[in-house]
Chain A
Amino acid sequence: MKVSNDRYMLDARGYACPYPQVFTLKVIKELKENSIIEVLVDNPASCDNVPAAVRKLGHEVLEVNQEGNYWRIVVRKR
């Protein structure tokens, strides 16, 4: 989902591991370099796996914040 120019949001809440990281990597492929994507996850395993997976592919993880029952992970595409 596009929030504004070059800023996107992926709500992967309600999905169990491994789907959140699979969806995130799939969406990042479609984006332009330097775009920002916010990913929301609520499955505990994915709050570690999503940042690890995007970092491994060379993108930048700007933030990982727990907000109540879910995590907001902010990524810059590189």
Chain B
Amino acid sequence: MREDRISVFRERLDKYLNLGINLLSLAIGCSVKVDLYDTLYPALSLVNNEIAKLNIEIQPREDVAVLRSNGDYSLVRRIYDISGNGVNKDELISINPSVALLLLQVHQSRASSPKEFASSIISLYRRLGSSPVRVRIGKGHSIVSTKEKAEFALIDFIGTKSGNEYLLANNDTIQIIDPTEDPGSYRQVATAVSNALNDLFIKGVYRDITIYPVYDAPIEDLREKLTRSFKEFSSKWDFQLNANVIQPRVNYLLMGATVVGTLDKEPPMFYDNIKAGFKILVTRSFGELSIISTYLTTHVDESIIDELERNVMSIEDLEKLKTKIMDSLSRPNIEIARVISKYLPEIGEAFREDEHIAATVDVSGPGIFVFKELAEQANVDVALYNIPLISPEIAKFAAEHYIITDATAGTNGAIAIVASKDVIDSLIRNLRGIEDVQPMVIGEVMGRGSGKLFVPDYITRYITSKSLLMKLTMNIDVLRSLRRQQVRCEKVRVEARVLGNVQGVGFRPTLRRQALSLGLTGYVRNLLDGSVEVVAEGCKEDVMAFIEWIRSSPVGSVQTINYMIKQYYGEFNEFEIR
């Protein structure tokens, strides 16, 4: 039985290897993205000053692009290389976009540090930002490929005229959800598109939805199979499909969509109205990826099956659970959108806390991190008292075995809603009965603040990476330049000596990566007495977070760290290893 399962999987791997696809080189679920907190956000901070001089605008972090519209819009798709060769000023003037949705696929070597990533993207931004037309990037999405020569920048330029409703647009893609299933199968495509749609649904959009597929494959047969799955999904759920848009064709498996829909209410983005006592509701438990990843890993290393069966559940039960999840992931959450829209103000009306939803967020890719981002966006402090996972046992197992670094992550997953207690109580009654929905309150807003998130201590069972945990719970500004309102930053310099087992263990490169991800400049060097000297400059909160991080460094072992906070000099442009 077990041998059968593994041999079927191996046959599938071989079958695809013969077609030039290594299923094990494809990222599953959301791990396909350039790391938001270590790479993408810090990279955008690095190029912030240069972007400010260009005719380009990167809008604050939001799940979806939102435009006032008269209902008519045009969508023009262009595909460039990632340096932006081919961007044509005259064409930009004639397109005159209201917003641009950017999908970047870069080779993983460019995603290894913020500096590397920033230098990769700046040329594209320069080209986009040097025409008389202002290009607003309303939704960006950067993904990694393990294959070289599979890079591209796909931009969907959307143009519309202001009117009496809203147009919302989003782009999301996935490489593969579950390699134990056939790539290109209906469920994989349905999950990928539903995941893109989720960001419209959370804003209450369920009308006039059009899907503009984004897909690629190494072979024609698979590309055709994907095309068929897109058609099947659209007709089954009654969405418009525009299959005539151009596709990347760099022969690397990819599936997803740009999705556009209209909203005749005010979207739930009332961040400044969120206040102490507002509750946080989620529509179901999350952590889908830990289950899919664990199931997949049992096919790669048989000894994991033994451990799983000894400590958690039988492989048959895990398979049943995985199948159930794949079914629910391939269903779009459109019914939730209908309910959300009932709790939104009419166009032009103000937000009222006894009637309306204040904000919503999609708990998919980043899992529990979305609550940290939400706290920062709204400048409030948030406490979660419950982290409902589909299978806490599997999540713990996956984290312990480093199968997944954040076992709360998912795809097309739960939706979180922030509103006053009365509205939440009413919402729960309205959401009950929808398939796959089990609404529950998991936390609340403590009050206006700097964007802190308080989580139960047991979160360490599900997120084993120390640096991830620190980003979640320390007062670090994870969104940085993508925050709606910039936080004040007091610049300081720290000079430190670190004693312990800190030389010859990869300490300096690890420190440099962390410093860059916190937006710090300075240097780290080995001293002759076996200690390490660190000098760092940046915002005080980031500098202090860095010192705390060094104290519990994931490499070597730190006995003591002696440091002094000094006046900021602005001496460095980068963080070097000396």
Give the B-binding residues of A (Cβ under 8 A): 14-19, 21-23, 25-26, 29, 42-45, 47-49, 51-53, 55-56, 61-66, 69, 73
Contact = CB atoms under 8 A, between A and B. Distances in A.
A14 B405 contact: no
B554 A48 contact: yes
B449 interface: no
Contacts of A63: 504-506
25 contacts: A14-B25, A15-B24, A15-B25, A16-B28, A16-B146, A22-B301, A25-B301, A42-B108, A43-B144, A43-B146, A44-B35, A44-B108, A44-B111, A44-B112, A44-B144, A48-B405, A48-B467, A49-B465, A51-B555, A52-B466, A53-B401, A56-B400, A56-B464, A61-B555, A62-B504
Nearest to B554: A52
B510 interface: yes
A16 B24 contact: yes
Given A42-B146, A53-B402, A64-B509, A16 B27 contact: yes
Interface of B: 22, 24-28, 31, 35, 39, 108-109, 111-112, 144, 146, 293, 297, 300-301, 303-304, 400-405, 464-467, 504-506, 509-510, 554-555
Contacts of A51: 506, 554-555
B146 to A, nearest CB: 6
B35 A65 contact: no
Contacts of A29: 303
A24 B144 CA distance: 22
Contact of A26 (B35, B39, B303, B400): B303
A17 B31 contact: yes
Contacts of B405: 17, 45, 48-49
B553 to A, nearest CB: 11
A61 B146 contact: no
B409 to A, nearest CB: 12
Given A44-B112, A61-B555, A14 B22 contact: yes
A45 B26 CA distance: 13
B402 A52 contact: yes
B35 A45 contact: yes
A26 B301 contact: yes
Contacts of B304: 22
Contact of A48 (B401, B403, B465): B465
Nearest to B22: A14
A28 to B, nearest CB: 11
A14 B263 CA distance: 43
Contacts of A22: 297, 300-301, 304, 401-403
A12 B510 CA distance: 20
Contacts of B466: 52
Contacts of A42: 108-109, 146
Nearest to B468: A48
B506 A64 contact: yes
Contact of B505 (A17, A21, A61): A61
Contacts of A73: 506
B27 A17 contact: yes
A44 B293 CA distance: 18
Contacts of A49: 402, 405, 465
The residue in A14, A43, A53 that gathers the most chain B C-beta atoms within 10 A of its C-beta is A43
A23 B28 CA distance: 17
Contacts of A16: 24-28, 31, 146
Contacts of B401: 22, 25, 53
A43 B297 CA distance: 17
B310 to A, nearest CB: 15
A19 to B, nearest CB: 5
A61 to B, nearest CB: 6
